A = this chain, B = another copy of it.
């Protein structure tokens, strides 16, 4: 579980207090589904099913089933009308989004350009980091053939890329963030489209990597 960035972990006393349940979600008017909805309403980042299960006092499997049912319901798959919002699993948890069908309407409302487009250079750098992580700036430069320092800095300040370690040489290693996955609508890096179809010959590329490493 990823704790919110603005807060540190809590002490054992608080955790103990939290474990005593003052309620049973089944007794609530809308049942567990409504309780889940209520929690999702105040979440400001993807919430893992495990965390939701802890909060609701229900088994994780049950909460996961409930989440999938809610998501389907919002899409109108239970016979009701499709909702203007949807529940999606991305970036390591579940979160409520406006439905894409209403992007034009929402776009008129949300003026804050929260999803400013990335430049071609930034996209290419992001692609190399996504597929090659953990990777140094030097290695990304070698693929792109240009210096990527300021582009990497932009990606970091956009929250898409972060430092994930250092090489023995001292060079900083970069990788993508959970926020990147969320923005891609993915739950794991495994969902990235395979690179192989775009590549002619993997053996040749390994040689390239080695040659780069030797520089």
Q: B-contacting residues of A (Cβ < 8 Å)?
A: 1, 3-10, 14, 18, 22-23, 25, 28-31, 33-45, 47, 51-52, 54-56, 76, 80-85, 96-99, 101-102, 104-106, 108-115, 117-119, 121-122, 141-142, 144-147, 149-151, 153-159, 162, 166, 169-172, 177, 179
Contact = CB atoms under 8 A, between A and B. Distances in A.
Nearest to A123: B6
Given A29-B101, A41-B84, 7 more contacts: A6-B121, A6-B154, A10-B114, A37-B84, A41-B98, A55-B112, A142-B157
When all copies of this chain in the complex are counted, the total is 2
A3 B154 CA distance: 12
Nearest to A162: B146
A105 B38 contact: yes
A113 B8 CA distance: 7
Nearest to A36: B84
Main secondary structure of the interface of A (DSSP, over half): mixed
Contacts of A155: 6
A97 B5 contact: no
A51 B110 CA distance: 11
Contact of A55 (B29, B105, B114, B144): B105
Nearest to A152: B6
A145 B130 CA distance: 19
Contacts of A150: 4-6, 44-45
Given A4-B114, A30-B101, A42 B145 contact: no
A158 B102 CA distance: 32
A157 B105 CA distance: 28
A3 B113 contact: yes
Contacts of A108: 18, 55
The 6 nearest A-B residue pairs measured at CB: A147-B159, A6-B154, A37-B84, A111-B170, A38-B84, A38-B102
